[in-house]
Amino acid sequence: MLAKIKTCGVYGLHVSEIEAEVDISNGLPAINIVGLGDMAIRESKERVRAAIKNSGASFPMKRITINLAPADTKKEGTHFDLPIALGILAASEQIKMDMIFDFCVLGELSLDGKVNKVNGVLPMLLGMFNKGYRKIILPKENVKEARLVEEMEIYGVSHLQEVIQWLNNEETVVPVTGHHFENEKFTQYDHDIRYLKGQDNLKRALEIAAAGGHNLLMVGPPGAGKTMAARSLSSIMPQMTFEEALEVTKIHSVAGILDSEKGLVNRRPFRSPHHTISVTALTGGGRIPKPGEVSLCHYGVLFLDELPEFSKGALEVLRQPLEDRVISISRAHSSCTYPADFMLVVAMNPCPCGYYGSEGQQSCTCGAHQINRYLNKISGPLLDRIDLMIEVRAVSYGDLKDNDKSEESSKCVGKRVQIARELQQHRYKQEKVLFNAQLNTIGINKYCVLEKEAEELLKMAFDKMKLSVRSHNRVIKVSRTIADLDKSEIISKNHLAEALQYRNLNHFSRR
């Protein structure tokens, strides 16, 4: 007997339709799985055998051949367990094949027959939905994630025995349907910008960075509030749209870090890897390429603390995704691309001991050679891709205890950021651009109009500050964001002057 069960596979974010073909014939009892499956798939025969027996069904003592078609497509993952088990049961006539003819089936099996949660459900469902499938059988733990796909009939199951009884009309499994996501109201984050004391210039830089999606570098002594500032950035960024949330959720689902209780990533990601991180963990990769930190923070913030402590290779590999906003992972036989549209926020000390140029704190013990060697760990091409550079001063006791000064909350600052983002979305509605940092050279010439005095100032700064073409374009994009915060269509001299001050960092000008 021959049975065919529809399922799917995911490589990167690309989804392939897979058919699990099961043939049972006379001969010595054996199970053979073909079709370029990985070790997890080859081991599935033992899980499937035990699960069928422990679910009250009979495992056929015959020659069983399982083909995962198309045979030339690589497949990986444990979600093929359930379709293989149902194929064996259908081929041995223990369940009715016509009941699952138009279903897509996903699920991992325990030895006792329990159907376990699997990774990558959301991209797989979206891919199969686009291929015309409207019914899915999957683990009950994945139902919340699956409900993000509208118009899909989702049958959540918890045990193989439950599936067998349902397909034999002995029990009923009630499907749920996908629903549309509603944006949440403002949520109080753990970190609020109001608690960042005595750092008005830094707060202004955070607001500009959030409004335009710009990269930010902070240089200052230990304990000045750099890490707190970076963690507060997410609280002033605009709420993600449903399309953005869906794309981020797909990446987290493939990576296996999605919270099954929430189902949707509706907050902008904030990732802060340790400086010992490898290049592969940062960019993604492995035998079957998985997303790295640059993709897990898609539409969010990647924060690198103690920047010079990161390896040279890890820092230099960031240059490509910062420009292209995608990361391509190539292997000998295939390649995949993950989105990597993130804001890079980095922090560092001014010298190895951390106290160079600090007032009222410890004295710097570093020599000029040590300081230059420390700063030279950050390459010029990487600095060129950072829009805003700011020196963070040490906080005084007076700043810390000044309770009379009213500090703006993240909610207040976030409202101004939201208005600026809405202006940008309206301006770029005909373009594939969401915010100012994404503008290319054509977009800059079209949408970033400088008044005459601003043009003269930019010409003078270009020669005096020895700006590169990339730095020149980034200054204009930052000034466009500052103008948006002022609700101005024309970039004035004041807007450009403020943008230029974020390129003039004394620590790096000494190199």
Tally of CB atoms within 10 A around 346: 26
β-pairing, 108-109 vs 115-116, is antiparallel
- Name residues whose C-beta falls within 8 Å of residue 159's C-beta, 6 or more positions apart in sequence: 55, 113, 114, 115
Model confidence band, residue 180 (pLDDT cutoffs 50, 70, 90): low
What does the block give as tokens for 175?
Answer: 């499907």
Among 14-23, 175-184, 412-421, the minimum mean pLDDT is found in 175-184
pLDDT at 189: 67
C-alpha 35/C-alpha 87 separation (Å) is: 15
pLDDT greater than 70 at residue 506: no
C-alpha 481/C-alpha 175 separation (Å) is: 48
Give the max Cα distance, the chain.
Answer: 88
β-pairing, 270-271 vs 301-304, is parallel
pLDDT at 266: 85
The string of DSSP codes covering 395-413 is PPHHHHH--SSPPPPHHHH
Instruction: Give the pLDDT confidence of 469-497 residue by residue, as tens digits.
Output: 999 999 999 999 999 999 999 999 999 99
pLDDT at 243: 87
pLDDT at 360: 64
Instruction: Give the pLDDT confidence of 27-82 residue by residue, as tens digits.
Output: 999 999 999 999 999 999 999 999 999 999 999 999 999 999 999 988 999 999 99
**What is the average pLDDT across 289-297?**
94
pTM over 0.85: yes
Instruction: Give the pLDDT confidence of 147-160 residue by residue, as tens digits.
Output: 999 889 999 999 99
Three-state secondary-structure class, residue 139: strand
User: Which CATH fold topology does 2-177 show?
Assistant: Ribosomal Protein S5; domain 2 (3.30.230)
Is residue 389 within 8 A of residue 474, CB to CB? The reply is no
Is residue 246 within 8 A of residue 279, CB to CB? The reply is no
Per the prediction, the chain carries an average pLDDT of: 91
Model confidence band, residue 143 (pLDDT cutoffs 50, 70, 90): very high
C-alpha 281/C-alpha 294 separation (Å) is: 9
pLDDT greater than 90 at residue 182: no
pLDDT at 185: 47
Q: Where are the domains of the chain?
A: 2-177
